[in-house]
Structure 1
Amino acid sequence: MVTLNVSGKRLLDSLDRLATFGGRPDGGVDRLAGSAADLQARLWMAEHLGSHGLESWTDEVGNVFGHAPGVRDGRLLLGSHTDTVPAGGRLDGAYGVMAAMEVLTTLHEHGHPAARSVEIVSFWDEEGAQPESSGGMVGSTALCQSPHLAVIDSYIELHIEQGPRMERMGQELCVVDGIVGVDRHLIRVVGEPNHAGTTPFPLRRDAGRALVRTAAVVQDLLRSVHDTVVGNIGSLSLDPGAPNVVPGAAQMVLEIRAPHEQSLTRCAELVLDHAEAFAEEEGCTVEQRLLSHKPVVEFDDGMRTLLEKVALSTGRPTGSLYSYAGHDAGVLSAHVPTGMIFVPSAQGVSHSPREHTPDHLLVQGAQVLLEAVIAHVESRAVADSSGSASGTAHAGA
């Protein structure tokens, strides 16, 4: 059997061209969903597909799809997103879309039968970076609620890691086991505002002090639950917020990420226990509210096995891990068998103009995606023929 190879030059040229839409002098990209640069990039993608004999269409949400003429139902969907955060990088999301386009183009130009079983997509507004956005994953969520989902039977997403783990472990490819769960909690401490100059320490009901004492131990508490847990306090406020007033109320938003639901629950319990203890010592009370919960995503076992086999066949250093960032694959996984592949991010930098992955690793990732597509389509054809044969034999009996 002749082995197909993606065109590394064409892939890298596509990435370069896409980066001109919203490109910044510092090498970053401003291509927020719905911006002029985003819309221009989507038009270019559709034109690019057409120039290679492929067909494209855009749904009512803004997702851009591409496929070969005569595409069948039961399609393997490939893709990611091309929108960015402000001052973002040129690879986040974009790499997965350009690699998907390169894979489909390679299959089509060589007349490979798998071309008619593949569809690609650039999802609308994955980032949710606009102030009026509903939180991201807009296009993938819309697809999963649309009639078009009926013709999709599986999904693979290729992406940069956006973190430092692969590079530190010397891995060139990683099969993603799933996506961590994310909980956000509002923790509010209520005390009593008073004059900061005339109120002695022992007589204060200082909500700010109780909250800050809690914030100071959050990292240690989360690490005590499991070494896979991370968290963040990126929003903290004191009320009334004056230098000479003891805070009568204080609140923070605590975000917890973990690959196990029980870890999310235990972390929240520990932090709340400590917040209540500190608040009691300061003469305050605590209110807690779960703002949002994104459950842990586990990708399809069969898809993970197939991707691992293909990645290992390259002979390159390969591993597996959970993604700590959200992806469209997490949305699709609730509806169709889904798999995900990572390539390393240099120094773990992402959402930044310094976002970078060496060219040879980008090309290697796209080649693995191509081989995974062929393997998946062929294995599905074998399964379908076996099922048909057994059905015929049963009918004859």
Structure 2
Amino acid sequence: MTRISAERLLADIASLAAFGGRADGGVDRVAGSAADLAARDWLAGRIAEAGCVAWRDDIGNVFGRTPGGSGPWLLAGSHTDSVPGGGRLDGAYGVLSALEVLRTLREAGHPAAETLEIVSFWDEEGAAPTSGGGLVGSTAFCSGGHLAEITAFLELHIEQGPRMERAALDLAVVEGIVGIDRYAVTLTGETNHAGTTPMDGRADAGRAAARVLVEVREIAAAADPGMVANVGCVEVLPGAPNVIPGAARLVVELRAAGRAALDACAERLRAHAARVAREERCVAVVEVLSRKPEARFDPALCDHLEKVCKRLGVTHDRLVSYAGHDAGVLGRHVPTAMLFVPSSSGVSHAPAEHTPDRQLVLGCQALLDAVVAW
């Protein structure tokens, strides 16, 4: 069995974390920042040092392949940009594992190296103001001609949640990604003096918004117990302590594995907002901001990854991802699947993001075995 170099993989993870590294152990490497651009140059250099060819497309995706290789290609990778104050593993781990697989196979003279291509996609996170919601590089890639040369895509990633650690899993085969819907809920009441207006004569949009917000979790659970929901943006206008809010706006995000559950939750949200608005003498408007469809990964490729996990003799299961990934974009065009390693305490998008070295190495080895056996 061809084995990766654990020392080299872990050293690369530490080196990449220095680009945009923070004193608290986190990373600021938002797409297009100086740290992000420098990290992409570093990655291209590491590909070249491995005796491989690095190249970039027009959007900024970084690719690597062996000098004498020829397509069609099995593509493996992820992204190296981060959210502000993010962790050192999110995305980066998948890219550096793909690099380690490529150079290990090349050093071993294995024929699988000749048809393997690795990638670091541009702006997966969407943290830059001009990104348009993320998944920029993978979306552009799927609109280009190189897609026709890709036979399949594999993405190795940290789970970014607590399920694997709680179940004592070393690896998980990811069968798909949840759909993600975002709604703007706007409540309009009447601005007035907060001191002189009797409590029973108010049309308080702020109070109405609070009543909607506090029920979002219950609304989601009623539609689908497996759904997750969040209200991460709240705006109250005019925003003065002595003025009754005449308008308020919430952004509600819903994530579920099926479209039916998402639609059912949206209907419950509209009905609840309308009822609250009537009771608070306000008007409610619920508008769709964005919809990212759920992704279903290739069954044959998922079965293939599960066989790899079984041969390695490690604890494993199948999961659905509640975070978005480039694989969700690729999966609409080519056979795609993902592998997860656990996230300690379920922490991600934060400096405390961590996965034990043993599981980082195991995930990379599983990726190599999957490439060899595909």
Same fold (TM over 0.5): yes
Amino acid at match of 1:70: G
Choose from 94, 97, 100 the match for 1:96: 94
**Counterpart in 1 of 2:64?**
66
Q: 1:356 matched to which residue of 2?
A: 354
Measure how far apart 1:117 and its partner are. 1.1
Does 1:338 find its partner at 2:336?
A: yes
State the secondary structure of the residue aligned to 1:289. strand
Candidates 173, 176, 197, aligned match of 2:174: 176
Q: CA offset at residue 280 of structure 1? A: 0.9
Match for residue 365 of structure 2? 367
Partner of 1:315: 313
In 2: Cα distance, 1:188 partner to 1:26 partner: 38
The one-letter amino acid of 1:340's match is M
Give the Cα separation in 1 of the matches to 2:205 and 2:26: 42
Letter paired with 1:374: V
- Which residue is equivalent to 2:248? 250
Q: Which amino acid aligns with 1:283?
A: R
Match of 1:207 in 2: 205
Match of 1:114 in 2: 112
Q: Which has the larger radius of gyration?
A: 1
- Equivalent residues in 2 for 1:14-25 (5 A)? 14-25=12-23
**For 1:350-374, what per-residue CA distance to the aligned partner results, in whole angstroms no more than 9, with x for missing partners?**
1111111111100000010001111
Amino acid at match of 1:225: A
Instruction: Kindly state the Cα deviation for residue 263 of structure 1 after the two structures are TM-superposed.
Output: 0.9
> Quick one: distance in 1 between partners of 2:132 and 2:235?
24
Q: After TM superposition, list the pairs within 5 Å mapping 1:210-289 onto structure 2.
A: 210-289=208-287
Counterparts of 1:99 and 1:33 in 2: how far apart (Å)? Answer: 20
Please, which runs of 5 or more residues in structure 2 have no aligned partner?
none
Q: Whole-Å Cα distance in 2 between the matches of residues 302 and 315 of structure 1?
A: 20
The residue type equivalent to 2:301 in the other structure is M
Question: Which of 129, 153, 157 matches 1:159?
Answer: 157
- Quote the Cα distance in structure 1 between the aligned partners of 2:245 and 2:24: 42
Distance (Å, rounded) in 1 between the aligned partners of 2:301 and 2:175: 10
Q: Distance in 1 between matches of 2:247 and 2:160?
A: 37
How far 1:84 sits from its partner (Å)?
1.1
1:319 CA drift (Å):
0.9
Task: Determine helix, strand or coil for the equivalent of 2:117.
Answer: strand
Aligned-pair CA distance for 1:38:
1.7
Counterparts of 1:308 and 1:371, CA distance in 2: 11
- 1:141-200 deviations in Å (ceiling 9; x for gaps): 111111111111110000001111110111110011111111111111122222222222
TM superposition shift of 1:22? 1.8
Deviation at 1:256, TM superposition (A): 0.6
- Paired residue type of 1:182: I
Distance in 1 of aligned mates of 2:318 and 2:215: 31
SS in 1 for 2:46: helix
1:305 aligned partner: 303
Q: Which stretch of the first structure deviates more once superposed, 20-29 or 284-293?
A: 20-29
- 1:7 paired with 2:9, answer no
Q: What's the CA shift string for 1:73-118, capped at 9, x where partnerless?
A: 2210000011111221111111000100010111111111111111
CA positional deviation for 1:23:
1.8
Deviation at 1:133, TM superposition (A): 2.0
Match of 1:36, as an amino acid?
A
Percent of residue pairs identical: 56
Q: Given the two structures, how large is their TM-score scaled by the length of structure 1? A: 0.92
Deviation of residue 246 (structure 1)? 2.2
AA partner of residue 290 (structure 1): V
How many Å separate the matches in 1 of 2:246 and 2:287?
Answer: 19
Q: What TM-score do you get using the length of structure 2 for normalisation?
A: 0.97
The aligned length equals 374
- Aligned partner of residue 196 in structure 2, secondary structure: coil
**Which amino acid is 2:118 matched to?**
I
Q: Alpha-carbon deviation of 1:26?
A: 1.9
Distance 1:221 1:239 in 2: 25
Aligned residue identity for 1:37:
A
How far off its partner does 1:241 sit? 2.1
SS of equivalent residue, structure 2 residue 302? helix
Q: Which runs of 4+ in 1 moved over 3 A?
A: none
| Structure 2 residue identity aligned to 1:119 | E
More displaced 10-residue stretch of structure 1: 158-167 or 220-229: 220-229
The residue type equivalent to 1:99 in the other structure is S
Q: Which residue of 1 aligns with 2:55?
A: 57
